[in-house]
């Protein structure tokens, strides 16, 4: 009896997750400013930088075309913007407006709500990936190779898991939604400059590289860039990069669960 009830409840709840994803999607794309900030911005950078450096070759990476480096770099940046930045800003806003509190008073299970928010983010990441790589292939002569495709996909999955959960988890440390963009940019922007997003980190002082290695942005960018680097032999998997990303995903999940366990309203 209870097993039957449980499986039918689960089916209903999964239906609710799918239902909620539709509304999360609508809300995301209708909020123009946020969609521009998290979705259009990275694509704009791609077009600008790739246009400026179109014919450049990167000597520090053995002379590969700039686009082969920058398209995956901007994909990493776009992934962070649509997951971490978007989640941190929107979740702290939902918290401050009392939406999380309202949701808590409904029969929608918390896990279902958060699963829907995450699933909706995955949809956005997929759109970002398709557009970035589509532009890269069509306009900037980048090649998607079958040999490195599994590594590319694995990096995208673990990276999305890490940055989405970190985006939710960081909300605990964001005092109010006005502070969200500041906290988010403070934690992301400086790291992007030492993490092979805008230019290769190859020539950088060891100290900066050591710092970048601790955080998840460098492994994400390198993991994606390796998949597009014409000199990459074999599948392009890097155990240490994936491990670092997985550790950050674990940290993100831990922080996210702590944020979720804290009841809304008890803070007041």
Partner 1 sequence: MTTTQPRNEGPVIEVRDLRRSYGEVHAVRGVSFEVARGEVFCLLGPNGAGKTTTVEILEGYRTRSGGEARVLGMDPAQGQRELHERVGIVLQQSGVQQDLTVAELLEMYGRYYSRRRSVDELIDLVELDAKRDTRAKNLSGGQLRRLDLALGLVGDPDLLFLDEPTTGFDPGARRQAWSTIRSLCDLGKTVFLTTHYMDEAQHLADRVAVMNAGQIIAMGRPEELGGRNLRPAEIRFLLPGAWSLGDVPDVPCVERTVEGDRVVVLTREPIVAAQRITTWALEHDVDLGHFSVTQPTLEDIYLELTRSADENDEAKEVVR
Q: Where on the chain is the footprint of partner 1 (CB under 8 A)?
A: 16, 19-20, 23, 26-27, 30-31, 94, 97-99, 101-102, 104-109, 263-266
Q: Give whichever of 99 and 246 is closer to partner 1, judged by the CB atom.
A: 99
Tokens of 229: 């680097």
* Of residues 233, 231, 220, the one with CA closest to residue 63: 231
* Of residues 97, 109, 121, 130, the one with CA closest to residue 25: 121
The C-alpha atoms of residue 15 and residue 196 are separated, in whole angstroms, by 41
Q: Give whichever of 99 and 135 is closer to partner 1, judged by the CB atom.
A: 99
Tokens of 52: 């400026």
* Shortest spacing between CB 178 and partner 1, in angstroms: 15
Q: Give whichever of 3 and 138 is closer to partner 1, judged by the CB atom.
A: 3
Q: Give whichever of 91 and 148 is closer to partner 1, judged by the CB atom.
A: 91
DSSP 84: I
64 three-state secondary structure: strand
User: Are 155 and 239 a contacting pair, CB within 8 Å?
Assistant: no
* Shortest spacing between CB 226 and partner 1, in angstroms: 38
* Shortest spacing between CB 19 and partner 1, in angstroms: 5
* Shortest spacing between CB 106 and partner 1, in angstroms: 5
* Shortest spacing between CB 24 and partner 1, in angstroms: 8
* Shortest spacing between CB 253 and partner 1, in angstroms: 22
Q: Give whichever of 24 and 225 is closer to partner 1, judged by the CB atom.
A: 24
Q: Which residues contact 220 (CB under 8 A, 6 or more apart)?
A: 76, 79, 80, 155, 159, 162, 163, 241, 245
* Shortest spacing between CB 147 and partner 1, in angstroms: 43
Tokens of 184: 């988010």
* Of residues 72, 67, 47, the one with CA closest to residue 55: 67
* Of residues 244, 18, 36, 219, the one with CA closest to residue 113: 18
Q: Give whichever of 16 and 127 is closer to partner 1, judged by the CB atom.
A: 16
The C-alpha atoms of residue 191 and residue 76 are separated, in whole angstroms, by 12
- CA dist 80 → 109, 146, 156, 165, 190 (Å): 27, 25, 11, 11, 13
Q: Give whichever of 3 and 33 is closer to partner 1, judged by the CB atom.
A: 33
């Amino acid at each position: 009896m209870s097993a039957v009830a449980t499986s039918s409840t689960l089916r209903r709840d999964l239906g609710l997750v799918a239902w909620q994803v539709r509304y999360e999607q609508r809300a995301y794309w209708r909020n123009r400013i946020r969609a521009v900030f998290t979705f259009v911005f990275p694509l704009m950078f791609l077009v600008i930088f790739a246009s400026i450096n179109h014919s450049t070759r990167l000597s520090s990476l053995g002379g590969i075309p700039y686009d082969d480096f920058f398209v995956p770099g901007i994909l990493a940046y776009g992934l962070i913007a649509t997951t971490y930045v978007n989640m941190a800003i929107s979740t702290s806003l939902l918290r401050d407006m009392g939406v999380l509190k309202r949701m808590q008073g409904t029969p929608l299970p918390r896990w279902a709500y958060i699963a829907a928010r995450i699933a909706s983010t995955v949809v956005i990441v997929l759109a970002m990936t398709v557009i970035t790589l589509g532009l890269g292939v069509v306009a900037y002569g980048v090649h998607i190779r079958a040999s490195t495709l599994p590594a590319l996909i694995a990096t995208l999955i673990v990276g999305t898991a890490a940055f989405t959960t970190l985006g939710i988890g960081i909300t605990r440390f964001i005092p109010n939604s006005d502070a969200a963009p500041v906290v988010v940019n403070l934690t992301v922007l400086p790291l992007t400059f030492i993490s092979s997003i805008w230019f290769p980190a190859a020539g950088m002082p060891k100290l900066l590289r050591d710092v970048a290695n601790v955080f998840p942005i460098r492994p994400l960018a390198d993991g994606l860039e390796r998949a597009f680097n014409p000199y990459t032999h074999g599948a392009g998997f890097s155990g240490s990069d994936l491990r670092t990303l997985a550790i950050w995903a674990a940290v993100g999940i831990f922080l996210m669960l702590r944020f979720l366990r804290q009841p809304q309203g008890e803070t007041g």
